[in-house]
Structure 1
Amino acid sequence: MKIAIYARVSTERQEKEETIKSQLEVLRDYAKQNSYSVIDEYIDDGWSGEMMARPELDRLRDDANKGMFEGVLIHSPDRLARNYAYQYLIQEELEKKKIKLLFVNHEISDNPEDQLMLGFQGLIAEYEKAKILERTRRGRLAKARRGQIIGSIPPYGYDYVKKTEKREGYYKVNESEASVVKTIFSMFVKDKKSLRGIVRELTLKGQKPRGGGAKWGRSSVARIISNTSYTGTTYYNKYYSCETENSQQKYRRLKRTGRRLRDKSDWIAISIPRIIEKTLFDQAQNQLVENMRLSPRNVKYQYLLKGMVICGECGLHFYGSPNHGKTYYRCSNRNKRFPFKKDCKASIVKTTTLDLLVWQSIAKAIQKPEIITEQVKRYQERHHTQQQEIQKELERTTSKLSKLDAKESRLLDAYSGKVISLDQLKEKVRVIKVEREALEQQRQKTESEGRSYPHNVVKGVRYYCKAISRRLNTLSFDERQTILRLLLNEVEINDQTVLIKGVIPVNTEHPVKERIAMAHSNTVSTTSCSLDPQVRVRRSLPAHLSQSNPDFPYRSHWK
């Protein structure tokens, strides 16, 4: 009898363990013992039995239609399919073509008893898979709750140390890769480089990704920047598997190839060594959002204030909208669809009018820097008062921490003197630990609010304005947009008033004059200005910068 051999393993791990090889050896021996003539072998390596669409199974079914063989030899029913419905469907399809199913571990005849047994085997295989999955799921959850690492493939920047009889596996920092991770965050946050720019720099420096590829991909860099693991905490149970919709891929090794984010309350935190400070990571996430908002993409029309205009009535962004050859800014509330209400009545604004108004307002502030410096001086006075309050708060928190240390010391003395039991000591120390952690968090928050204010801000503003004012009348569209994005947080439209909320770009790491020269050379490029967000002064400056325009009813104010 002419037969075909079909073999399947469901995971890459089984592939590596060569279970497919052992399957084939058994099948070939069985065919030889029964004097079967093997026409072809159909092997699905690493394909789930839950999937009906498998490349070699489809080839087998196509060849069955051509009448190439009289029987199909399989190790056991669960190798054909883990789902009983799929198993029955394939069996019926082959039987209609007079092709016999042969199993090494169970001979099947046409009598009702054998067919019933085959059905039971399919159901048991399906039940067994569900049971294995549930047992594995519960075991991994329990392991994660004990703070143990799940999986042996660490994020870039870490190595996985295999478990032994005495301890579980864990992540340790790979110093070489960790250095690259720090470089990526520094370039993204401090140098304001795009993902493409980071990829270019890494390639020029000869830094290769872990897989040894020729160059980095933007998606790989984006995953590193958004991975919370680098702050010292990784999460298990963060996603759940699901079937993807409208997939263009004909064959998928697994049924559920998509991932969806779980509710954050279901995430299980696992502590690992830290590579990036939390503040730097948070700044990177804000920068990702900002980059997405200001991304140029492929646009037909140019909008000088793209991503910067805010509706003062509803708080949503204005977006650029062309209409009969003219362009306008309009509130995105107008795009809402049922059941969301269009409850904003903000008027549309001509881009030429608003762009001109804002640019002239900025130009006036640059040419007359005292408009800004007067408000800087007032802010410095307020900042000094705030710093005094912050210092008092830090002293109070430090005092409370010292009292907790003394209390813990007294408890240890009481336990040594057998005044309290070990259980009582543990409970009281646990309470102290919780209080200490809360106070430490409060102290860190207070310290972050109490960052020192640069002393040379006024001088820096004057140098900055002088450097830009030299070229105000010769700047291109892209150069003007670059300067606006550097100097503005947002432009808020309230009825007949335009409120300009600005940023004072000051950096204390280098001399101000030197930084300005670097930031505004003849090119005024977006990548040449590396002003650190943590030392920028982001304050509203409520000084008037009135700008009248007889053709435009809006008035602009600096804030």
Structure 2
Amino acid sequence: MSTWFAFYGRVSTEDQQDPEASRQWQRTRARALTDSHGEIVADFFDIGRSRSLPWKRRPEATRLLEALKDPQRGFDAVVIGEPQRAFYGNQYGLTFPVFEHYGVELWVPEVGGPIDPNSEAHDLIMSVFGGMSKGERNRIKIRVRSAMGSQAQIEGRYLGGRPPYGYRLADAGPHPNPGKAADGKRLHTLEPDPETAPVVQRIFAEYLAGAGIYAIAEGLTRDGILCPSAYDPARNPHRSGIAWSKSAIRTILGNPRYTGFQVWNKQHKHEALIDVEDVALGHETRMRWNDPNEWIWSDDLAHSPLIDREDFNQAAARQVSAEATVKLRKPHRSKNAYALKGLVYCASCERRMQGQYNHGRAYYRCRYTMEYAVANKLDHPRNVYFREVDILPDLDGWLASLFTDDRIHDTVTRLAAAADDDTGRGTEHLRAAQATIRDCQRKLTRYRQALDEGSDPGVIGRWIADVEAQQVQAEAVLRRTTPRRAKITPDYVEQLFIACRSAARSLHRAAPERKAPVYRALGLKVTYQKETHTAEVQVDPDPSSVGILSCPRGDLNPHAH
């Protein structure tokens, strides 16, 4: 009897391979094992995902785990081309029981066929490969960091990343690696930008003369000098570029590369457990600053300096003194719950307002005038804040009123019209998600090329993390949007909201952490106007999230809620 197989593989930037080539050789290795037993009828291949990520945090691996639950999955077994790419550390021990539970065999070439769940030898072999995978990743990290440290210190090589404000990239000749040089790859160096280099020199001169950071930001904005995000908007689409901020001035004053030396190892990747109570969720990577004593300086000048090293040291010493006087607190993750977190905007500057707890109550505050210069004559109040409790009762009451007997027909008609694919909105969501995924794949390919050219893994890693987050969100939209299970009609939506009417009426009694996901699902946006003390509320729910869910225990377990 022929066996139908599903293939699983993975490739990431750390492998530095072409994704399609990697997929082909892994699949070829899998077919060498399965061809005499059956054929591969399904493919699950993760691209751009580190082996350290648990299966539930890899899109294709997650899709495979979901397929295992389906009796009509279309395959009888799963084959893996190389276990080191599939399993890392203890991931095999956390994943294989799922295969065993659903009666799906797992085939690997190193075992010569399916893994026997009762074989200690098979279990030992797979555990060894998980350890080898972890060791291999650690060795790659050590080799790359050691090589980049030597290149920065001895050669003064520019290791990639965005050039600092005040500099631009210049060609520095062919790549010293013959293979990369043959592919046309070249080295780069920094050269002063004639427009922004004088601005950097002015910032240091004014700061050393006694001017404060905010005063410098005000002066630059008043003179019409573009801030970094406005000067290079293509790389800063998430920033408004309205004015110079204190953080921009502080970053420039703290960048040692303006001295002409190449400086590396200012930050490092720290892998922290997502949940110490659930180690299986794995780690998340965060960038942390290293002590200045651990920074690696080039032995000689690597590019044209904008300031001398003595001026930089004086500026750094003054910043340290100022921070010690202010007694800045270390940033910490808030333990307080905000019902409207990330959903409140200031009408004056259109920026998100930050949550803050005072006297046990949740507030939302706009800190624009504390961080940005106002010399651009932006009409912005000095203090913009309001209490969460002042808006939630009216907000919850308004949402509940949408489902009263006299208004529910109008509400569901509008929602059905918005959710109907025939209007084009569903298709727009689908096409936008597909375009985003394609764009993310192109960016990931460019970032892999940048790594091949010797770019800073720390900088590229942050870019990759941002793109991966965008891709995950787009993939989630794609899964929800297609295929559609049923046409959204007014009767369908009315059935949904009649069933959930009691939940809408009881929303005001819910805790903030329970309300927050409801507000986000509704696409809620609150814009607060300080002058009139009013808030404009908009609701724009994602039509792909509309559906009726039934509790599977409702009929057989009446005691369960």
TM-score, scaled relative to structure 1: 0.42
* Larger Cα-atom Rg: 1
TM-score, scaled relative to structure 2: 0.42
Q: Which has the higher contact order (CA 8 A, sep 6+)?
A: 2
